[in-house]
Each structure stands twice: as C-alpha cells, then as structure tokens.
Structure 1
C-alpha cells in the first residue's frame, strides 16, 4: 500500500460531488481527532475489445491515473481551504475498489465514502460492495450522505446509536460516544423490541408475553450496557430510547433529525444482519444523515498479499 500512514482517516475520491462532501466530512473528523487524512482514488483499465480502434492500454492507463490525480488535487484544495493545518496524503491506485478499500482499512482509523459517485466508487454501499466492506473491512465504514445527494450534511443535531447488547453494538456505542465527545453533541441510544421475536428467535409462550415487562427488561439491559460508557464520557448528554418496532424503521425515523447514525455490522437480535441484506440497503440508501457501520477489530490475515 503506497505511503499509508498508520491510523489515517481514508476518504474515497472519484470526482463526484458526493465524494467531495464525504472527503470534507472525513477531513473534519481527522482534524477533531488529530489524525492525517488520506485521499484514495482507485481505477481499473477496461479490457479493450476493439484493438486498433481504442488507444493503446498504456495510454488509457496514463489517462485514468492523470484524471484520478486531478480529482484528488481538487478535493485536497477544497479540504485545505477549510482545514489549512491538516496533514493530507494521497494515493492513486490501479486495482478494484473493494479489495483496495479493504486493504486501506487494515491501517486506517475509518474509511469514508460518498453515497453515490461517478467512477470507481459508484453506488459504493448499495449491493455487494457494502457487504464486502462490512464483512471484510478492518475499521469503521462511514457513508457521508444527506437527505438528497447534493444537500449539505447535518451538523447541529444528535448522534444516534442502534444497540441490541451484542459485542458489535458495544463497539458501535464506543464509536458513538467518541464522536459525540469530539463534536460536542448529544447521544441517543436506541433499542427496539418485539413481542414475537427475542434476539432472533421466536419467543416461547408467545401468547402470554407482557409487553410492559418486555420493555422494562430491555430498558434495564440497555441502561446496564450504556452505564460504563457514561462513566467514561461523563460530559456527553445521553438519551435512551426503548421502543417497540422494527429497527430499520426506527433508525430511519431518528436519522431524519440526526447528524450521524451508528450501527454494528451484525448483532444478535434487532439489528442482526444489518449489513447482510435489504435492511442494510434501506439504511444506506434512505438515511437522511451519514451512517457509520462498525465491526469489532479483526486481525489482518497472515500471508495477505499487498497490492498497489
């Protein structure tokens, strides 16, 4: 991986307005954390099916690389205009976007992408790329999006974290508390429950359940989960919401008035499979604010082959 600084925040660049918005969000976060920002453009030279008609492959490669460098230059200028002291490094890489970003994630604090783009990051979290990054990435993935593609990102509202008590939601809580501290924001912790399903399984004695008892148990559970984080971050105002309903619908509702929604990539109950199907696609497609997908740290596989 060319010149990557350990712990940098990585932003994917493809020349689109959404990617520039994402890069500015990443720059803001890097500035708050005191970390460098790394701008990455990934391109792939298409296979020429009409030799003699198209330019030689090397000419196309040079053109793609030059265009990527130009897009990174434009993003860098916009970033330094707002954060003049921020260390910014860059890389233009010939590869496929998913493996390149997964490799970048092995040394990054987080990877930030726009909600839609023009080139290598087009539709980055809609479909197989979302699943790949969530399942195989080594750091948080943030999709910086607003209500509409060209809308500014929200800045003055609360951070929302979805939790179900699983280890992955514990990691999401830690990320949410840290972001709330950095951005001097309040934090809303959301837990949903169902009379039918309990942590992914149908409840026993289904027709004898007491909704008030279920809600009380869930509230006690989330309060116990949140308590150590409140001790660690005493200056972060915390609101706990326990609600009957579906997690995606609840998170989308809170996302209409949030500056960031944070979820784990998989859980044991209400948020299980968040990034493995239609629920994930609904969240990253329809959320009206940035979305952070968190997974517990995973070791880099030994013998992995580095590519540039």
Structure 2
C-alpha cells in the first residue's frame, strides 16, 4: 500500500463527475493509492439588490452547504472500495484549484459533458487550463451511456510523435499498462495523404513507404527506451498515414484509455492546446489521459501539509 500517493478527483454533483470518482477509485486501487475528492466553488462576482434600494452581500452558506453535500455523496460512493478516501471543499475557480493541487497528485481526474457545471467550465471557457498547466497527468472521463464501464482498463493506446512530450506520455502509458495489466498499443500518425495534412506537400517522388518505415524505426527506439525496467509490458506499434486527432478518436471506440502528450513539436502540440483539442476530448469514446510537458518523472508524493487538503479524511 502507498496511500501517500494521491488520485485527485474533482466533483460538481453531476453524474459525469461521479463517473470520474468511480474511475479514480478503480485506478487508486491498482497501486494502493489514496483518492482525494475535491469540490471547488466560487461566489458570483456581484451583489444582490435589497428591498431598501441598497445592496446586500451574498450569503455563501447555502452555496457552501450544497457543495458539501456533493462532496459527502462522492465520498459515500468511493468508500468501501478498498482505498483510503479523503476530501476537501475549496473556494476559488475549480480549474485553478485543481491545477494548484495537481502538484502533489499522481493523477487528476475529471468528468466531461456535465450539466453546465464544473466539468463544462474545465472544457469550455478554460478548456486548456488543466491539461496545459497541470503538474500531473489528467484523465478526462466522458459520459458513460451504455455497455460495460470504463474500468477495468484492458486496452490502452498512446500517441507518439517523436517529441519529448510524447516520450513522457509513452513512459506513462507503459506504467499505466503495467498497473492495469492492460494491452498497450503505440501509434505514430503521419498525415501524408492528399489533402491538408502536414506532409501533403511532399512531392510524388518521395517514397512514402520509406517515410513510414523511418517513423516506425523511431517508434521502435522510443518504445525500447520506455520499456526499460518494465519487462512485463508488451507494446504493439503502428506507424499510420493519417490525422492524429481522427486516429485517436477512432481508436477510442475500441480501447479503454487513450493517452497523449501536450506541447510536443508537431503532432499533439496543436491538438491538446489548440482548437482541435476540444474535438479529441469531447469526441473520444473512452477516457483520455493528457500527460503535460512539465509532468514530473515518476509518481509524485505529497510533501506539503500546510495549506493543502491531503491530510483531511
């Protein structure tokens, strides 16, 4: 057991956020980690008009009580699953609070497609905040509608584009495959076909099969490096002609977890921090893990006790 390592999960009371709790609990159980459930809220930036024509400050007691009820329901859902559960209620912008606390977490988990609350804010006006600024990998769990649940994770696909960020994502994918006992497939996408792809300008004389062979050779080297010390993991690999975002979305229909990096050179750099990122996250049929460029190597262990909620049970 290693309860010092934390899976941080944000909740807002929506079914999607409770689905994120289920995913976080299942992941924490794989390594004996702790789950920390967080609900963050901010008060409206305006006051209300009073009957005498003046203005009255908004009493936040009802808002806080509602947020605490959300936390209590999520904690009750997580308990009895074989993992230690702690929780906290925080004031402030949810994305900002999660980014701050992600520095002391192994993984952060949120739901998506919520009813206009916490999850929508993460993937709406501040859609890039958590994936781009988190200090740990972020898992975005989509709405579950039918069929089997998203856990246990049996099949994982990771996107690799040759960047340092993608290599970090690949190393995390190997660790995830090891933790879940899952099959892992690494995919390198090269958009060479006729059209608006990044390499569509290549002259016809270029041997595109050779380009894919070179990409495959680079992929093999990256996989060999990522597997160092993880001999029990087998990685399938594919170098494909196509758009990375579309390919990841297609793979998401057949796997249980998609893993991508952010801020790489080419490849996924534009996907996860630009306009295409919304398509990847919102159209994926399974949870997506985004490994930020600045993520710590290895699984972080909380070191601070002052000013953080980790010790609260």
Moved more, 146-155 or 257-266: 146-155
Match of residue 24 from structure 2: 26
When normalised by structure 2's length, the TM-score is 0.84
Match of residue 40 from structure 1: 38
Is contact 2:47–2:58 with CA below 8 Å preserved after alignment? no
Match of residue 182 from structure 1: 179
Match of residue 78 from structure 1: 77
Is contact 1:19–1:116 with CA below 8 Å preserved after alignment? no
Unaligned runs of 5+ in 1: 300-305
- Distance in 2 (alpha carbons) for counterparts of 1:202 and 1:25: 38
Is contact 1:7–1:35 with CA below 8 Å preserved after alignment? yes
- Distance in 1 (alpha carbons) for counterparts of 2:135 and 2:56: 37
Match of residue 195 from structure 1: 192
Q: 1:192 to 1:202 in 2, by over 3 A?
A: closer
Q: 1:15 to 1:151 in 2, by over 3 A?
A: farther
Match of residue 302 from structure 2: none
- Distance in 2 (alpha carbons) for counterparts of 1:190 and 1:37: 31
Match of residue 135 from structure 1: 132
- Distance in 1 (alpha carbons) for counterparts of 2:295 and 2:171: 16
Matched position secondary structure for 2:256: strand
- Distance in 2 (alpha carbons) for counterparts of 1:6 and 1:67: 29
Q: 1:290 to 1:204 in 2, by over 3 A?
A: closer
Is contact 2:262–2:290 with CA below 8 Å preserved after alignment? yes
Which of residues 155, 165, 170 is equivalent to 1:173?
170
Deviation at 1:272, TM superposition (A): 2.6
Is contact 1:6–1:108 with CA below 8 Å preserved after alignment? no
Is contact 1:14–1:118 with CA below 8 Å preserved after alignment? no
- Distance in 2 (alpha carbons) for counterparts of 1:172 and 1:195: 24
- Distance in 1 (alpha carbons) for counterparts of 2:88 and 2:191: 47
What do the CA deviations read for 1:34-62 (whole angstroms, capped 9, x no partner)? 22111110111114443226x96463x11
What do the CA deviations read for 1:127-159 (whole angstroms, capped 9, x no partner)? 442312222221111101256499832545410
Unaligned runs of 5+ in 2: 297-306
Which of residues 200, 204, 209 is equivalent to 1:207?
204
- Distance in 2 (alpha carbons) for counterparts of 1:28 and 1:34: 10
When normalised by structure 1's length, the TM-score is 0.86
Is contact 1:261–1:289 with CA below 8 Å preserved after alignment? yes
Q: 1:123 to 1:168 in 2, by over 3 A?
A: same
Is contact 1:115–1:149 with CA below 8 Å preserved after alignment? no
Deviation at 1:270, TM superposition (A): 2.4
Matched position secondary structure for 2:176: helix
Q: 1:160 to 1:258 in 2, by over 3 A?
A: same
- Distance in 2 (alpha carbons) for counterparts of 1:236 and 1:124: 37
What do the CA deviations read for 1:7-57 (whole angstroms, capped 9, x no partner)? 41110010011000101101111121222111110111114443226x964
Is contact 1:45–1:57 with CA below 8 Å preserved after alignment? no
Alignment of 1:232-243 (within 5 A): 232-243=229-240
Q: 1:101 to 1:24 in 2, by over 3 A?
A: same
RMSD of Structure 2 on Structure 1 (CA)? 2.8
Match of residue 247 from structure 1: 244
Deviation at 1:282, TM superposition (A): 0.5
Which of residues 82, 86, 93 is equivalent to 1:96?
93
Matched position secondary structure for 1:165: coil
Matched position secondary structure for 1:190: strand
Deviation at 1:118, TM superposition (A): 4.1
Deviation at 1:103, TM superposition (A): 0.6
Is contact 1:38–1:90 with CA below 8 Å preserved after alignment? yes
**How many residues are paired up?**
293
- Distance in 2 (alpha carbons) for counterparts of 1:291 and 1:99: 20
